Amino acid sequence: MSVNHQLVVTIDGPAGSGKSTVGKALAEKISYVYLDTGALYRAVAYRAHNEKIMPGDGAHLSKLCNEIVISLETRDGGLRIIIDGDDVTDKIRTEEIGLLASRISAVPIVRESLLSIQREVGSAGGIVAEGRDMGTVVFPRADIKFYLVADVIERSRRRYDELIERGESVDFEEIYRGLLVRDEQDSGRSIAPLRAAEDAVIIDTTYRSIDEVVDTMKRIIEERCGNGA
Ligand code: DC
């Protein structure tokens, strides 16, 4: 059975729950577009950091959001994030920018300004969109919603391995504490807090391999929406 090509599939969950790895693999498997919305928040955070704008400075963040031009390009099978012509895809992947992204993502103007670009990418369907509020706010009428969870130690380990592999020198304790802070910030904010949509399928990825999770998701999509084509 194959998957109808117009569906909107959402994946939400806390940092390190496996959303990006699984989302990318799932999109590839069912030939869908993969949208990593965390990268958009990271792009704004990266620019704010460069311009020394503090997370609490709503006026300058608002100006930044009005001026910034973010474009998404697919290259070599991966999604590249370009801000005002500068390819920042790799530069936004640090823990520092992740934590800052978490802070600025609680600012209403930042969320508002990124809403249209996300909905535009998803408008034609055939998309796997991952983030924190995909199933609750951005695509509330998505065809299938997943919510990934995993033990915080396992999430820290994954993040640690990822950064070590990239050649960064990191401290496990620091990553663990950073994740707790991010969990608190992302779930505790008043707008679009991290939470599972009522109709989301919850998958615990702690003891499951990437392939297992992707296969489970694909099976669920096919069971619910497969068109037999
Ligand atoms: O998924 P990530 O770690 O790249 O996301 C970075 C931060 O961006 C995350 O801690 C919270 C914010 N974010 C958000 O508020 N809403 C989204 N849809 C995606 C990310």
Q: What is the 3-state secondary structure (H, E, C) of the chain?
A: CCECCCCEEEEECCCCCCHHHHHHHHHHHCCCEEEEHHHHHHHHHHHHHHCCCCCCCHHHHHHHHHHCCEEEEEECCEEEEEECCEECCCCCCCHHHHHHHHHHCCCHHHHHHHHHHHHHHHCCCCEEEEECCHHHHHCCCCCEEEEEECCHHHHHHHHHHHHHHCCCCCCHHHHHHHHHHHHHHHHHCCCCCCCCCCCCEEEECCCCCHHHHHHHHHHHHHHHHECCC
Contacts with 126 (C-beta within 8 Å, 6 or more apart), sequence order? 5, 6, 7, 31, 32, 33
Return the best residue to mutate from 36, 41, 103, 114 for the ligand 1 pocket (most ligand atoms within 8 A of CB). Answer: 41
- Per-residue pLDDT tens over the stretch 7-37: 999 999 999 999 999 999 999 999 999 999 9
What's the whole-number average pLDDT of the chain?
92
**So where are the chain's domains?**
8-207
In angstroms, the first-to-last Cα distance of the chain is 7
**Band (4; pLDDT cuts 50, 70, 90):** low
**Band (226; pLDDT cuts 50, 70, 90):** confident
pLDDT at 111: 95
pLDDT at 169: 86
For 98-126, what is the mean pLDDT? 93
Give residue 103 CA to ligand 1 midpoint distance, Å: 9
Sheet with 70-75: strands ordered across:
70-75, 78-83, 86-87
**Whose alpha carbon is nearest atom 5 of ligand 1?**
38
Q: In this model, does residue 228 exceed pLDDT 50? A: no
Return the best residue to mutate from 17, 20, 37 for the ligand 1 pocket (most ligand atoms within 8 A of CB). Answer: 37
Neighbours of 117 (CB within 10 A): 15
**Whose alpha carbon is nearest atom 1 of ligand 1?**
38
Give residue 31 CA to ligand 1 midpoint distance, Å: 24
CATH of domain 8-207: 3.40.50.300
Determine what percent of the chain is predicted with pLDDT higher than 90: 82
pLDDT at 73: 87
Q: Is 188 exposed, middle or buried (0-12, 13-18, 19+ CB in 10 A)?
A: exposed
Question: By the 8 A CB rule, do 53 and 60 touch?
Answer: yes
- Per-residue pLDDT tens over the stretch 137-154: 999 999 999 999 999 999
- Per-residue pLDDT tens over the stretch 43-88: 999 999 999 999 999 999 999 999 999 988 877 767 899 998 899 9
pLDDT at 76: 73
Q: In this model, does residue 92 exceed pLDDT 60? A: yes
pLDDT at 78: 74
**Band (2; pLDDT cuts 50, 70, 90):** low
**Whose alpha carbon is nearest atom 20 of ligand 1?**
38
Neighbours of 141 (CB within 10 A): 7
Give residue 2 CA to ligand 1 midpoint distance, Å: 30
